[in-house]
Amino acid sequence: MTILGRMHGRYVHTRRVRILSEHIAPLIPLRAKVLDVGCGDGQLAARLLALRPDIRIKGVDVLARAETAIPVRAFDGEHIPYGDASVDVVLIVDVLHHTDDPAVLLCEAARVARGAVVIKDHLREGVAAGLTLRCMDWVGNARHNVRLPYNYWSRRQWSVAFESLNLVVRRWQASLRLYPPPATWLFDRSLHFVALLDVARA
């Protein structure tokens, strides 16, 4: 691992897991069955379980790792291997922008979720947003061989996708403070969000 990779793991990844879990934990209903799509090593899910021991979490990921903190099942990145409305909540953290068309996987999440979809992803908003996000993505993911199509959406694109899939925004938070000062002034801004989406079924 490079020096940059070690620094990212020590100073960014650990803080990110802690802060994201604190944002996401209150959004999950009591005793919910949660599916973490693109869960990676499962560290975020493990942190959520520590904060919310009443919930259950399993994961799916395209890159099967030898050791994970939760049970993980491999999938193809497009078709979630679970039945319709088979879990209470689908969690998708920094995954959709790694797909060629985020709407495809988002549609699958809406199909599998009985109650809600919780998303953490990026917003392509503000000065040099695309370039900043590309740099962040490369530093955090290139060494793990994660696909990097750099597919970042604007707030309007997210809204259109949610509406087309009958996903109703119940909570939206764009001030996450994932990075300590002074990095927060460059890498936080309006580049991140966490959203709680209700699944509206006919």
Average pLDDT of span 148-167: 95
Longest CA span, the chain = 52
Question: For 87-106, what is each residue's pLDDT tens digit?
Answer: 999 999 999 999 999 999 99
Average pLDDT of span 14-21: 93
Q: Determine how many CB atoms are found less than 10 A away from the CB of residue 87.
A: 23
134 in Cβ contact with 202 (< 8 Å): no
70 in Cβ contact with 57 (< 8 Å): yes
Q: Give the range among 9-18, 123-132, 190-199 with minimum mean pLDDT.
A: 9-18
Domains of the chain, CATH where assigned: 3-199 (3.40.50.150)
pTM for the whole structure: 0.90
For residue 11, what pLDDT is reported?
57
